[in-house]
Amino acid sequence: MKSSEELREALHRLELENHALGIEKAHASLLIGAVEKLLADDSEDPFAGAFIALRSVFDFRQAVVLVEDAETGALQTIIADPPTLVGLRWKSAAFFEKVLAGRVATTINNEALAEWGPIPADILSVHQPALYLPLRMRAQRGLMILLRDVGEEGFDRGHVVLARKFGLLASLAFASRIHLHEKAESERLKQLTVRLEQSRAELTHRANHDVLTELPNRAFMQELVRDALASCAGGEKMALAFVDVDDFKRVNDLYSHSVGDQVLKQVATRIRTAIRHDDEVGRISGDEFVILFRFCTSLDDVRCVADRLIAELQRPFAVEGFDLDVSATFGIALYPDHGRTYEDLRRAADIAMYTAKDVAKGSVSFFTDEMGVAALAQMRLEQDLRSAIANRRFRCGYQPKFDLSSMKVVGFEALVRWVDEEGKVHLPLTFLDAASRFNLVDEITMLVVNDVLSSFPLLDSRYGAGTQISLNISARQISTVPFMEQLIARLAASPWCHRVKLEATEEAFIEADVLREVVVPKLRQAGIQLSIDDFGRGYSSLATLADIPADEVKIDRTFITDIHRRPRNQSVLKAIESLCSALGMTIVAEGIETHAEREYLLDQTSIRLGQGFLLERPFFIGDPSSQGSLQAA
């Protein structure tokens, strides 16, 4: 039988074991509770709940989590309570190395530790009791420091034991949280990548396609054609069509730009539907399209598709309650016959399209060598005209207006002439239409104005002061307010303004409200008179004449030629004469070329002003080689 002493020792051991079990149980409860709090935290910050869990296990005032930089070995605070300590850098020395290696340690005073050297005293004090426990966060080493306030008790042995257990569990919890965060971050980045790819695709599509029609735009269509040409096998043929919607400006002007946009969208849809699967269509400007026809075995292949397209576009367009008749004209160039690059093919197709428009709108034309020659001539003409403008090679030929009774000169009509570098004089019929197509007429007109204003002193010295000079203005120019404002300002700045008369053909006055309401008042204010030129050449209407606010009417030569032999023309002339007299308009007879015509006007009418080759031909005045000289113009 055991002695009582042995029994007491056994009981003591049991009590110690029981106490140890109690501590273990308490620690286990604390750890389980801490982990539950960690795992229950659903904040985006992977360490947001770490210190909440810690506070239920350890009593501390501040806490920091340090992570080692694998390259430099320095330690940086990545998590802290309070958060203001985040970013604090610590020196790596022997003490921290032991903690990082797996040792848990406590201190009452940290003054002797090299690691605390860089830490400002106003942030953390070396006299704060501290508990250091290692953390493993995947491939990195780290540690956690729990700090109490200065003067408080330090962490005891039980805290160290508990910290060993908690350190491993916390490391696993932190690693788990980091993994979840990285997974969430990976998913977020994946979604961001998808959105970026979608945005990139949208931006690429937007950069390559026309916003209105969703067709390839000019740059992308050029790229598509170039790629097709580059991949073209030997002997393979293709075609490029240039398509222009006929009179599209009329649609915009009459029905609104909104209706015009809808028409363009329908044009795009019809073309896209009617072309073959392998073909491409793009919109390269407002009402212009380009079509690439691939794999053409013959000209008939392209013609068949083009005829189908023309028929499709001739069907009425239903837009906003309107049925609009809109056609399109096609010009087509073949590869490699008419060019081997996009630029050459597009230029050839463009030339063919304009040739087709001259014949019949809503038709198709294939490029020919003759068209190329004509186009080259037009290009040279344009360059010659631009050079002539730059070098001021436009001069005025002056044709006098006479009093038919006294044969006294009462005025002049300034007739533009182009004198080229070789001295050859070109009449308006040879270049004005081209100048209009090239948008050069306004510049030529301003050169004429300068010539006229500089000629007044020379004309006055020869014919006496007081004569007027008439300038010819196109119908488009006189109805264009900005141009007319520029012209009027130039004339008004000279002392000869009141002796200038502007001549415009009667078509300029037909339904020209802006002319009557805006331009004419400005002319009147500047003292500039207005003349109707070539009256009777196809637009004549006595009612229109009565409504035109003009000072002078010039009867077209078609009425004057052989007037003494044409009774019907005589009757019309008398009607015009009577109306002009009632309206206070001066009448000038143009194109008097025979004595019989002049005699009839003097004997049978009250018309006393005229001009024509019988009276005098146009002439140049003030030739640079002989100041004040006269030469045939």
Distance of CA 548 to the CA centre of its chain: 42
Q: What is the mean pLDDT of residues 184-203?
A: 74
- CATH 3.30.450.40 placement within the chain: 30-183
Check residue 624 and give its pLDDT.
41
What is the Cα–Cα distance from 58 to 34, expressed in whole angstroms? Answer: 10
For 408-436, the pLDDT digits (tens) are 999 999 999 999 988 899 999 999 999 99
pLDDT for res 57: 72
Pair of tokens at residue 127: 């006299």
Confidence of residue 627 (pLDDT cuts 50, 70, 90): very low
d(CA 216, CA 282): 5
pLDDT in tens, 481-502: 999 999 999 999 999 999 999 9
pLDDT at 289: 95
Count CA within 13 A, CB hemisphere, residue 4.
Answer: 0
Percent of the chain beyond pLDDT 70?
A: 83
Q: Are 510 and 544 in contact (CB under 8 A)?
A: yes
CA torsion angle 38 44 45 49 (round to 10): -20
Q: Tell me whether residue 209 is exposed, middle or buried, using C-beta atoms within 10 angstroms of its C-beta: 0 to 12, 13 to 18, 19 or more.
A: middle
pLDDT tens by residue, 364-385: 999 988 888 888 888 899 999 9
pLDDT for the residue 397? 93
> Which tokens sit at 325?
């008749």
pLDDT > 90? residue 58:
no
Q: Considering only residues 132 and 26, tell me which one the structure prediction assigns the higher pLDDT.
A: 132
Dump pLDDT digits (tens) for 133-184: 998 766 778 889 999 999 999 988 888 888 887 766 666 666 665 666 667 6
Q: Judge if pTM exceeds 0.75.
A: no
pLDDT of residue 535: 85
Q: What pLDDT does 441 receive?
A: 95
In 10 A of CB 488, how many CB atoms?
19
Q: Tell me, what's the pLDDT at 48?
A: 53
Nearest 5°: the CA angle 360, 362, 364 is 80
pLDDT of residue 487: 95
Q: At what angle do helices 481-492 and 441-463 cross, to 10 degrees?
A: 30
Fold observed for domain 218-367: Alpha-Beta Plaits (3.30.70)
The listed CATH number (3.40.50.10190, 3.20.20.450, 3.10.290.10, 3.60.15.10) that belongs to domain 399-412+449-624:
3.20.20.450
Q: Across the chain, what does the average pLDDT equal?
A: 84
In tens, the pLDDT along 111-122 reads: 999 999 889 999
Q: What is the pLDDT of residues 542-582, one digit of tens each?
A: 666 777 778 999 999 988 999 999 999 899 889 889 888 88
Give residue for tokens 């222009």: 244
Give ranges for CATH 3.20.20.450 in the chain: 399-412+449-624
SS3 376: helix
- Is 35 a residue whose pLDDT tops 60? no
| Fold classified for 30-183 | Beta-Lactamase (3.30.450)
* Residues paired with residue 81 on neighbouring β-strands, in sequence order: 63
